[in-house]
Amino acid sequence: MPTKTEVFDEYLKTFDYQERKDMKIQLPEFFELYAKGEAQLIDIRFNEEYEAWHIGFGDHIPLNELPDRLSEIDKSKMIVTMCPHYDRAEIARLYLKLNGFNARYLTNGLLGVVEYLRGDKAKDYIDKIKG
Amino acid sequence: MQEFIKNVIPSEMKNMRIEIDEFIELYNEEKCELVDIRVPLETKVWQVNFGLKIPANELPERLNELPKDKLIVVACPKADRSNMARTWLATQGYEVKYLSGGLLGLMDSLKGGMAKKIKI
């Protein structure tokens, strides 16, 4: 078994143009996959941030609790990590990736989601995912 | 990495990244080194005329090029790849931050007469 550091070294050394694309997902593609039940969305903000406000779908696992809560993550789905912008989401994505998950970070972040899902768009999307 | 993730707490967040103004200040005082981690094809299109150019995937082989006595500031166009490289360098024991705002932000803040702000 390679050590965690070796896994990270290897990942970095093989980081190429394809991986640069594969590390992230844009909103339209995410919305589609999530509606089809093929993606798990994880808000990785701190508890205090989540308490202050959160969106009405997806899961919440604070970044620093991820190592102890990997069992809550569905290996069969694409994992999409999310924070207000994308800096912490990228750390979470990297951690999950190095632990064998198929993970991407949401480029537009939570702020992008709420900006996008306004008015009718919010109604349509929530209707769609609640079936 | 496991320990690293668990230690990401609110008060630590600002230690991960450096804002452009603070970076320029530290760079001018020779207290930090910039590392542009973009891939060669990107650096061919446009170059930053200061700091080091080490593509992210070459970092493991080229660690010896990094100064040990300065803060390392990694940068990519925005902040995703630099954040990844920062995490890796942090696991290697470096004092390292990623440039908040990225190279695009840095170029934007070095417009016109502002370019004189950085000592090359």
In three-state form (DSSP H/G/I as H, E/B as E, the rest C), the secondary structure along chain A is: CCCHHHHHHHHHHCCCHHHHHHCEECHHHHHHHHHCCCEEEEECCCHHHHHHCCCCCCEECCHHHHHHCHHHCCCCCEEEEECCCCHHHHHHHHHHHHCCCCEEEECCHHHHHHHHCCCHHHHHHHHHHHC
Q: In 3D, which of B37, B49, B70, B46 has the Cα closest to residue B119?
A: B49
Q: Is residue B116 part of a domain?
A: no
Q: Which of B76, B79, B106, B118 is catalytic?
A: B76
Q: And the tokens for B74?
A: 């990694």
CATH of the domain at B49: 3.40.250.10
User: How many beta-carbon contacts under 8 Å exist across A and B?
Assistant: 69
What is the domain extent for residue B56? Answer: 14-111
Quick check: B93 contacting A, CB < 8 Å?
no
Instruction: Give the separation between CA B80 and CA A108, rounded to whole angstroms.
Output: 12
The per-residue pLDDT for A5 is 84
If residue B13 lies in a helix (H) or strand (E), which one and from where to where?
A: helix B13-16
Number of domains in chain B: 1
Q: Is B88 on the interface with A (CB under 8 A)?
A: yes
**Is B88 a residue whose pLDDT tops 90?**
yes
Q: Which of B14, B19, B87 to mutate to test the interface with A (most CBs of A within 10 A)?
A: B87
Angle between helix axes A109-116 and A27-35 (nearest 10 degrees) is 80
Q: Which pair of structure tokens corresponds to residue A58?
A: 């997806």
> Does ipTM top 0.95?
no
Q: Looking at the domain assignment, is residue A20 inside a domain?
A: no
Range of the domain at A120: 25-130
Binned at pLDDT 50, 70 and 90, residue A65 comes out as: very high
Length of chain A counted residue by residue: 131
User: What does the pLDDT average to over A116-120?
Assistant: 90
The larger pLDDT score, comparing residue B7 to residue B45, is at B45
Sort out which chain B residues have CB atoms less than 8 A from A92's CB and list them: 5
Residue B101 forms part of a structural domain: yes
Nearest-CB residue to A64 (from B5, B17, B57): B5
* Residue A46, in any domain of the structure: yes
* Helix, strand or coil, per DSSP, at residue B86: helix
Rounded to an integer, what is the distance from CA B10 to the centroid of its chain?
21
Q: Do B57 and A12 touch (CB under 8 A)?
A: yes
B76 catalytic per annotation: yes
> Taking a C-beta distance cutoff of 8 angstroms, is the pair A103, A96 a contact?
yes
Residues of A in Cβ contact (< 8 Å) with B102: none
What percent of the residues of chain B are helix, what percent strand, and what percent coil, each to the nearest 5? 50, 15, 35
- For residue A53, what pLDDT is reported? 93
- Residue-wise pLDDT tens digits, A9-32: 999 999 999 999 999 999 999 999
Any domain includes A92: yes
Contact B2/A105, CB-based, under 8 Å? no
List of residues 6+ apart from A121 with CB closer than 8 A = none
Mean pLDDT computed over every residue of chain B: 92
Find the radius of gyration of the CA atoms of chain A: 15
Instruction: Find the residue in A nearest to B9 (Cα).
Output: A64
A105 contacts B5? CB cut-off 8 A: no
Residue B22 pLDDT class (50, 70, 90 cuts): very high
Q: What is the CATH number of the domain that holds A68?
A: 3.40.250.10
In a domain, A65, yes or no: yes
For chain B, percent of residues with pLDDT exceeding 70: 100
Q: Which of A111, A106, A87 is nearest to A23 (CA)?
A: A106
- Cα nearest neighbour of A107 on chain B: B80
B63 located within any domain: yes
**Domains contained in chain A, number:** 1
Helix (H) or strand (E) holding B73: strand B71-75
